[in-house]
Amino acid sequence: MTPLRGKRVWLTGASLGIGRALALELADRGATTVLTARNEQRLNELADEVRARGGEVSVKAGDVTDLERMKAIGAEIADELGGLDVLIANAGTHLFTTPEAFDTAEYLGLMDVNYGGMLRCIEAVLPGMIERREGRIVGIASLAGFRGLPRAAAYSASKGAMIKFLESTRFHLADHDVGVTVVNPGFVRTPLTDKNDFHMPFLVEPDKAAQIICKGIERGRKSISFPFPFSTTIKFLRIVPYPIYDRIMTRVWKKMQA
């Protein structure tokens, strides 16, 4: 168990949703946070809230698709805080995919934010973690990355890429004493899911999600999947053969849209 108290945490996608809730939860747990997203005004307002709760925080706005900016933030963190203990690569987006409106550029754009954004942030901080032989990389993937979900082809692909990358890189980073945690939330109530026009089973509130994620990080968990009933179902569906998976998913998807 390694408490987050006193840890230096870089959190991306902090301006809304899960990231916003994480920033407040990290403050309550005594971490020093660096908040990144594109909307600087939202980040500054959130930083005021964090400070009002007694948290130490700084704002470094940026777009995770901009490698030079992510590297500059990584360098500023090293200068100002003397290093980084935890990266939470949370910035992400979603779009629905349908064969009638197939759009390669859009799908690659999504991949560039969700998967590419995580890679750029890792590149920005990994040399420092390896040098100090400590640190933890946390990627907010999704249960949607376990298996392709209806209407989520591009999103599932981007989250699947995150999961596989983190699983694989864990082997190499263990030699450098850098930990890796992959987080797979189910549905969480945020501006991203507010757009969904279907029933979301086992919907979790963002503050609850933030508590689960922080607790898992403190425990050094390799994987954090929630909520339990939903994640257990999806994990089971991961191992069933395609004919059964397709049949179950088609039925579930119809029910969710009813």
Q: How many binding residues for ligand NAP (CB under 6 A)? A: 32
The answer to whether the beta carbons of residues 54 and 27 sit under 8 Å apart is yes
Return the H-helix or E-strand segment holding 235: helix 228-239
Residue 180 structure tokens: 């890796």
In the stretch 216-235, what mask flags binding to ligand NAP with x, by CB under 6 A? --------------------
Q: Cα dihedral angle (12, 18, 21, 22), rounded to 10 degrees?
A: -50
> What one-character DSSP code corresponds to residue 2?
-
In the stretch 23-52, what mask flags binding to ligand NAP with x, by CB under 6 A? --------------xxx--x----------
Choose the binding region for ligand NAP from 8-16, 73-81, 212-220, 243-251 (rule: CB under 6 A): 8-16
Cβ-based burial of 175 (10 A; exposed 0-12, middle 13-18, buried ≥19): exposed
Residue 184 structure tokens: 């797979």
Q: What gap in Å lies between CA 210 and CA 16, rounded to an integer?
A: 12
15 touching ligand NAP, by CB under 6 A: yes
Minimal distance in Å, beta carbon 144 to ligand NAP? Answer: 7
Q: Give how far the C-alpha of residue 61 lies from the chain's centroid of Cα atoms, to the nearest Å.
A: 17
Minimal distance in Å, beta carbon 206 to ligand NAP? Answer: 7
Minimal distance in Å, beta carbon 81 to ligand NAP? Answer: 20
Q: What gap in Å lies between CA 240 and CA 83, rounded to an integer?
A: 44
3-class state of residue 180 by DSSP: strand
187 touching ligand NAP, by CB under 6 A: yes
Closest CB to ligand NAP among 64 and 224?
Answer: 64
Minimal distance in Å, beta carbon 117 to ligand NAP? Answer: 6
Identify the residue among 49, 56, 63, 134 touching ligand NAP (CB under 6 A): 63
Query: Which residues does the annotation mark as catalytic?
Result: 155
Footprint of ligand NAP (CB under 6 A): 12-19, 37-39, 42, 63-65, 90-94, 113-114, 117, 140, 142, 185, 187-188, 190-193
